[in-house]
Structure 1
Amino acid sequence: MSTNGISMALKLQFGLINSENRYLTAEAFGFKVNASGTSMKKKQIWTLEQDQDSQVVFLRSHLGRYLASDKDGKVSCEEEVPNTDCRFMIVMQPDGRWALQSVPYLRYFGGSAEYLSCFAQTIGESELWAMHLALHPQANLLSVGRKRYAHLSIADNELSMDSNIPWGVDSLITLVYMDGKYSLKTCDNRILSNDGKLVMENGPNTSFTLELKSGKLAFKDCGGKYLSPTGPTGALKSGRCSRAGKDELFELEESHPQVVFQAANKRYVSIRQGVSISANQDDETDMETFQMEIDKETKKCMFRTSGGNYWTLVTHGGILSSATEVEENTMFDIEWLGRRVALRANNGKYVCTKKNGQLAAVSDSLGDQINPLMCSTGEDEQFVLKLINRPILVLRGENGFVCHHKKSNTLDASRSVYDIFSLLFSDGAYHIKSESYSFWYVSGSGLVCTDGDKPEDFFFEFVEYGRVGIKGQNGKYLRGDQGGTLMCDGCRVDASSLWEH
């Protein structure tokens, strides 16, 4: 659980890679397991559950069944509720790999291809597994010891662990996976070195082995030392410790979208004047930044301030930032209008900007209908919504991550590795740029291509918890087709056209 109530600790999901570079796989047919997967897709993803009172762990497959071993070393993955045979211990190795030991029988789990067992009395190469995180790699990083969050400190040119809350673009951390190790990338595309410096190029000093300690993460550098916060600002760098204690442990917390709103009067919505919410500012600070939290069941949206309060509907349609808990009046429907959005409060009225800048839910309609992909001005019920904490973008769909195709200018949408793209805001739309500095565009056949010499508009719709629909200029949504190619031909937002971001 979060220490600040703004985010939730992420459940650890991962793939396990054996010594033959194959992933542990849970088959749907017969609940069988093997080590034959060549990449990490749905069948290769496992969720870690830990006994709160011990170091015992359980491994749950994508089917909701638990890995188990009997007294003869036979491995299965059928149990819907974990029993004694599902209890394992993680025995960490110096290189960061895991050995999984059956708790009741003290044997080690390993093997290759179809021949898996849990009968080895000692740990050999075939009993070692490398962990490849499957969660979305963009998150907030919490120091367990200091109970503070990482943020990019431009003034000190460091990654500082001294934020009480993970607020704004500076708090976004991207984990970059390469050859079994991880790097920490800041929002400005620099990479943390083990000496605390931020550099542009990856190398041995920026690559860390990810270790699991009591459900928390530790980052071990190439010299066997661990990252930890140091000094008054909590500058993140490798310390002297070759063992991970509390100061060397971290949690990853989900990074909700954080946005600013610009009203029809061209001014930003703010709480700078107190609990009242008014469009009366010309710059973007924490007071103009709001965290979007989407309810999983109703799909309605809550807007949280940097102080932890929510927008709420009050008497006579007023909107204040005075709610401390989620309830019906803190929930808003968002209507996506291309370059603009409209908000409808719990009273059924649209939120509009009054002449004095204050927001109030008093409008019955949006006025004249507009072309959803064209700019509209002068509409008091319409706002420009700007996402501010995703300057770099990683997308994961139902079949995997979005990544450059190896042999063409298109994109794969079913990869276990990901590419990082730049996201540029443009008057309610977004331009997506590749590392080669060329832009995404949609071809006449609906293919998403990456070699454009000029930017093309895409429209982001945050319609579900943790997921976004992305619409092209053709009015269609990005989706991964059956062959894994990224297309812009989806007619609606569904599982194939929703993206973790």
Structure 2
Amino acid sequence: MTTNGISKALKLQFGLINHENRYLTAETFGFKVNASSSYMKKKQLWTLEQDEQDGQVVLLRSHLGRYLAADKDGRVSCTAEEPDSDCRFLIAVQLNGRWALQSEPHRRYFGGSEDFLSCFAQAIGEAELWAVHLALHPQANLLSVARKRYARLSAAGAEISVDSNIPWGVDSLVTLVYTDGKYCMKTRDNRFLSKGGELLKEYEPQTGFTLEIRSGKLAFKDTEGKYLAPTGPTGTLKSGRCTKPGKDELFDLEESHPQVVFQAANKRYVSIRQGVNIAANQDMETDMETFQMEINKETRKCMLKTNEGNYWTLDSLGGIQSTATEIEPNATFHVDWLGRAVALKASNGKYVSTKGNGQLAATGDTLGDGELFQLRLINRPILVLRGEFGFVCHHRSSNTLNVNRTTYDIFSLCFSDGAYHIKSGDGKFWYVSSSGLVCSDGDEPEDFTLELQDHGRLAIRGKNGLYLRGDPSGALKCDADTVYDTSLWEY
């Protein structure tokens, strides 16, 4: 389902964490369930489905496509390919944000630890409480269901306004931060949204919200039991008066595609300011010089979308125009990643070149200065990375980085002449040690280059020419000579 004609709402998957800080796990062998894992990986992912007839009833589907069930004796299983009455649960959200799952037909509560799970408790105790940990990447665009408008940091920077027709530019990036079973909402400049709508530099209890899922949509409840909603003509995002979420209090999360600017060899920015023709003829960056990269999962070719909703396309004479309104072969481009520069190859097999007047045309057979562009990613000033084994965060007792954590650290991304510097929260920089380990306590910045190689994932290359990869031991290393699964990062 497309939302507002822009993108698809993200499928809501999550982990359920019990009172011993262990994740509910669906094992491949025998479809058994337990709560033994300290990490959220594939086996710990659950999808919530709501009953079409009774919106209060939910179904929990494992990564294997089987449904969690509890019989009248409290025995728990996860073998059903199609849901029956034993698969029906009710969610009782507690004040601390945790869920109690009650069997709808048998009225008993689900809980336990390790291999000893059951659904037989008559009352909610500590063992029957589950924290909800969203599995999607925490950086996204936030869409109001009622207003059909996107949230963004206001021009004055004083509030989050829900008033944007399209999620364009860096101000539309929202980062969700999971803390103590609740979610905080961060703007692109690392400030927290409070329940009163103010933006605070530091975390406070009033910036934490309980996450609720209603008919596949999200609602955010504050510490007083009231819900976030857009208010007033600019859609100021703050807690309203409602203690029960209606349409005004519901939101979708949508994928935040990379948005970039291109600078040609003439040092001018590529733009649509002059009309349908794409030309490198501007000295300033605005929305008209910003393009959204939408990368095809199968071909890894990209489409470049303008803020007017059209795509770059190759015309019959080899020129590049912004006239395509849908996916078509002439609107796809192959990107050559060349360190600090990129080259674009059009569907005619020619490289996109910059003419003397700045016009772009796919006429280049070989690479020269006219075929090179500097690409800058603009809508990730703060960066959260997730790889094959988990999120990237600081090692607890050294200057290295872990790649297998269920929680994440937020890093700053600073552009520098075609490369990037990655900075930790304490102001120290990433660098590659002589042993190939990536460290995070550098006093001086070190260059890394980014390659947006796959849908929603990028590769990072160090100054040694090798790629960062996640090691099964949990370390972040810079020693991969090619891009493969462990050297691609959700961002």
User: TM-score range, shorter-chain basis?
Assistant: over 0.9
What residue number does 1:372 align with? none
What residue number does 2:471 align with? 481
**Do the aligned partners of 2:144 and 2:150 also contact (CA within 8 Å) in 1?**
yes
**Do the aligned partners of 1:41 and 1:415 also contact (CA within 8 Å) in 2?**
no
Question: 2: CA distance between counterparts of 1:244 and 1:49?
Answer: 18
Say if 1:53 and 1:425 are closer, same or farther in 2 by CA, change over 3 A. Answer: farther
1:374-393 aligned at under 5 Å gives the runs: 379-393=369-383
Report the residue type matching 1:342 in the other structure: A
Question: 2: CA distance between counterparts of 1:100 and 1:332?
Answer: 48
Secondary structure of the residue that 1:493 maps to in structure 2? coil
| Uncovered stretches (5+) of structure 1, i.e. residues with no partner | 368-378
Question: 2: CA distance between counterparts of 1:41 and 1:437?
Answer: 30
1:51-450 aligned at under 5 Å gives the runs: 51-52=51-52, 54-55=54-55, 56-155=57-156, 157-367=158-368, 379-450=369-440
Report the residue type matching 2:432 in the other structure: V
Secondary structure of the residue that 1:223 maps to in structure 2? coil
Question: 2: CA distance between counterparts of 1:82 and 1:495?
Answer: 34
Report the residue type matching 1:440 in the other structure: W
Check if 1:500 corresponds to 2:490: yes
Provide Cα deviations, 1:34-58, integer angstroms capped at 9, x if missing partner: 1122232333222223445542433
Say if 1:233 and 1:416 are closer, same or farther in 2 by CA, change over 3 A. Answer: same
Deviation at 1:248, TM superposition (A): 1.3
**Do the aligned partners of 2:110 and 2:119 also contact (CA within 8 Å) in 1?**
yes
Provide Cα deviations, 1:298-332, integer angstroms capped at 9, x if missing partner: 11101111111111111021111111110111111
What residue number does 1:28 align with? 28
What residue number does 2:461 align with? 471
**Do the aligned partners of 2:389 and 2:472 also contact (CA within 8 Å) in 1?**
no
Deviation at 1:287, TM superposition (A): 0.5
Provide Cα deviations, 1:79-121, integer angstroms capped at 9, x if missing partner: 4454554343333334332232334544432222211123345
Question: 2: CA distance between counterparts of 1:465 and 1:442?
Answer: 26
Report the residue type matching 1:298 in the other structure: T
Question: 1: CA distance between counterparts of 2:50 and 2:250?
Answer: 16
**Do the aligned partners of 2:292 and 2:304 also contact (CA within 8 Å) in 1?**
yes
Structure 1 counterpart of 2:449, from 426, 446, 459: 459
Question: 1: CA distance between counterparts of 2:53 and 2:484?
Answer: 40
Deviation at 1:181, TM superposition (A): 1.1
Provide Cα deviations, 1:424-450, integer angstroms capped at 9, x if missing partner: 001111100011111100011100001
Question: 2: CA distance between counterparts of 1:207 and 1:343?
Answer: 44
Secondary structure of the residue that 1:329 maps to in structure 2? helix
Check if 1:46 corresponds to 2:46: yes
Deviation at 1:336, TM superposition (A): 0.3
Question: 2: CA distance between counterparts of 1:60 and 1:312?
Answer: 41
**Do the aligned partners of 2:392 and 2:402 also contact (CA within 8 Å) in 1?**
yes
Identity across aligned pairs (percent)? 72
Question: 2: CA distance between counterparts of 1:53 and 1:337?
Answer: 54
Secondary structure of the residue that 2:7 maps to in structure 1? coil
**Do the aligned partners of 1:226 and 1:241 also contact (CA within 8 Å) in 2?**
yes
Question: 2: CA distance between counterparts of 1:139 and 1:147?
Answer: 16
Provide Cα deviations, 1:158-202, integer angstroms capped at 9, x if missing partner: 111111111000000111111111111100111111111111010
Normalised TM-score (structure 2): 0.96
Say if 1:84 and 1:177 are closer, same or farther in 2 by CA, change over 3 A. Answer: same
Question: 2: CA distance between counterparts of 1:281 and 1:160?
Answer: 29
Question: 2: CA distance between counterparts of 1:296 and 1:171?
Answer: 24
| Uncovered stretches (5+) of structure 2, i.e. residues with no partner | none
Question: 2: CA distance between counterparts of 1:83 and 1:359?
Answer: 59
CA RMSD of aligned residues (A): 1.7
Deviation at 1:71, TM superposition (A): 4.3
